[in-house]
A and B are shown apart, each in its own frame.
Chain A
Amino acid sequence: MLLEVTNNLEAIAQTVRQYCEKKVRPFVRQWDETQEFPAHVFHELGELGLMGVLVPESYGGSGLNYQEYVTAIAELSRVDPAIGLSMAAHNSLCTNHICCSATRRRSKPTCPGWLPASGSGPGA
């Protein structure tokens, strides 16, 4: 079995779904037509812990793993792929680069992206 559908994945999916139905779905067409970037959505996603999904809790992140991260992105993208894309770019690229670059030479990595082959991710 490749997938362990944990309670946590379902809880994340539900949280994102609830947020999207209220705060995203009603505005999808408007944002698409005006091509406006709804910055407030990302501040709110931050309050839900979705802007530092892979960042350790000691740095203010959620300290979740990649499977949980996939669930969060997919649920956002079901409603508005553009919001999913921006959330993913913020987390995977900019934030992850800062998160990981300093840990490369440390003996104890703090970020799942740089774990040695024998390690296991937080929450994995």
Chain B
Amino acid sequence: LHQPHLLFGNEAQKQTYLPRLATGEWIGAWGLTEPNTGSDAGNMRTTAVPDGDYWILNGAKNFITHGKSGNVAVVVVRTGEPNTSRNASAFVIEKGTPGFSAGKKEDKLGMRASETAELIFQDCRVHKSQMLGEVGDGFVQALKILDGGRISIAALSLGTAQGAYEAALQYAKERQQFGKPISQFQAISFKLAEMATEIEAAKLLTYYAAERKDHGQSVTTEAAMAKYYASEVAVKVANEAVQVFGGYGYIKDFPVEKFYRDAKLCTIGEGTSEIQNW
């Protein structure tokens, strides 16, 4: 497994895919979650079975961002017995590979411009050169990827909270009641101050995790904390933003009802708040 041609193959994978993905010519998808295994990924049902120089994939992945529009997908599938160690491997699979197709596109509460769909594998033959790393590396790789991924969801949460807060602040300064802007009433100004403070705290946790990552330090705990906290802040701030807008917060002519719907994904995607605290 440590033969040089495999490492060379990996360099070839990078040469083939990275320039296309990095320039936005291609859009990428990534699949770990399955209908019956979310965070309990050791028990995945999608399998790859060796067949000469090929692997045969069968099963389905769901809640996959860019599942339909993605030009290429990285998927982590089971290559060993269920619930054994090192039982998963990762493959990079191009759209159009026979046996590889997209399933239903989900109709979502929020994040609706971000496509979410199923990936389906039916006797999909994939050459061994499409494996990323080595047999059994998949789960370890996935955990590392998700550590970094949680920083990005923390950043997503931070931006979502900022967008909702800025809209609420602007509205509170413009909206006049009893002869003055509602931002000058303590019920609103205290709310805005609390929102701003919590956003600042989320920002610190998120940049702290990012800074550690930049220095090559472990971020397993810090990224989970940043993701957990920032996502809860996003939901809370979006909720308060709707409240500041009052009736106008409940209609689509103003931006905060969308932040409210979008924010909820942050406490769910890439590990729920509950699993971050596990």
A59 touches B15 (CB 8 A): yes
B141 touches A55 (CB 8 A): no
Cα–Cα, bound, A79→B166 (Å) = 10
Contacts of A96 in B (CB 8 A): 145, 148-149
**Min distance, Cβ B62 to any Cβ of chain A, angstroms:** 14
Decide yes or no whether B208 CB sits under 8 A from chain A.
yes
Decide yes or no whether B120 CB sits under 8 A from chain A.
no
A93 touches B160 (CB 8 A): no
Interface size class of A (residues with CB under 8 A): 35 or more
A28 touches B258 (CB 8 A): yes
**Min distance, Cβ B86 to any Cβ of chain A, angstroms:** 14
Decide yes or no whether B232 CB sits under 8 A from chain A.
no
Decide yes or no whether A23 CB sits under 8 A from chain B.
no
Write the B62-104 contact mask toward A (1 if CB under 8 angstroms, else 0): 0001101110111000000000000000101000000000000
Closest residue on chain A to residue B217 by CB atoms: A117
Decide yes or no whether B163 CB sits under 8 A from chain A.
yes
**Min distance, Cβ B136 to any Cβ of chain A, angstroms:** 13
Cα–Cα, bound, A70→B151 (Å) = 7
A66 touches B69 (CB 8 A): no
Q: A2-B211, A61-B22, A82-B114 are in contact. Are A100 and B151 (CB under 8 A)?
A: no
B21 touches A84 (CB 8 A): no
Decide yes or no whether B247 CB sits under 8 A from chain A.
no
Contacts of B263 in A (CB 8 A): 81
Decide yes or no whether B152 CB sits under 8 A from chain A.
yes
B141 touches A97 (CB 8 A): yes
Interface size class of B (residues with CB under 8 A): 35 or more
Cα–Cα, bound, A63→B214 (Å) = 12
Cα–Cα, bound, A12→B276 (Å) = 30
A52 touches B21 (CB 8 A): yes
Q: A61-B22, A98-B132 are in contact. Are A113 and B115 (CB under 8 A)?
A: no
Q: A59-B19, A88-B152 are in contact. Are A82 and B158 (CB under 8 A)?
A: no
A120 touches B214 (CB 8 A): yes
Cα–Cα, bound, A20→B74 (Å) = 28
A36 touches B113 (CB 8 A): yes
Cα–Cα, bound, A51→B66 (Å) = 14
A94 touches B206 (CB 8 A): no
User: Which of B24-32, B34-42, B172-180, B181-189 forms contacts with chain A?
Assistant: B24-32
**In the complex, the 10 A-B pairs of residues with the closest C-beta atoms, listed nearest first:** A46-B24, A52-B22, A77-B159, A94-B28, A102-B10, A115-B216, A93-B30, A74-B159, A60-B19, A121-B214
Besides A35-B113, A52-B22, A69-B155, 6 other A-B contacts (C-beta < 8 A): A66-B211, A67-B214, A76-B159, A81-B163, A90-B21, A95-B22
Chain A to chain B contacts (Cβ below 8 Å), 29 pairs: A2-B211, A35-B112, A37-B66, A47-B23, A52-B22, A52-B24, A60-B22, A65-B214, A66-B211, A70-B158, A70-B207, A70-B210, A81-B266, A84-B160, A86-B113, A89-B30, A92-B149, A93-B28, A93-B74, A95-B21, A96-B148, A97-B30, A100-B145, A101-B133, A104-B133, A104-B137, A112-B213, A119-B215, A123-B214
Binding site for A on B (CB under 8 A): 2, 7, 10-11, 13-15, 17-19, 21-25, 27-30, 65-66, 68-70, 72-74, 90, 92, 107-108, 110-115, 132-133, 137, 141, 144-145, 148-149, 151-160, 162-163, 166, 204, 206-211, 213-218, 252, 255, 258-259, 262-263, 265-266, 269
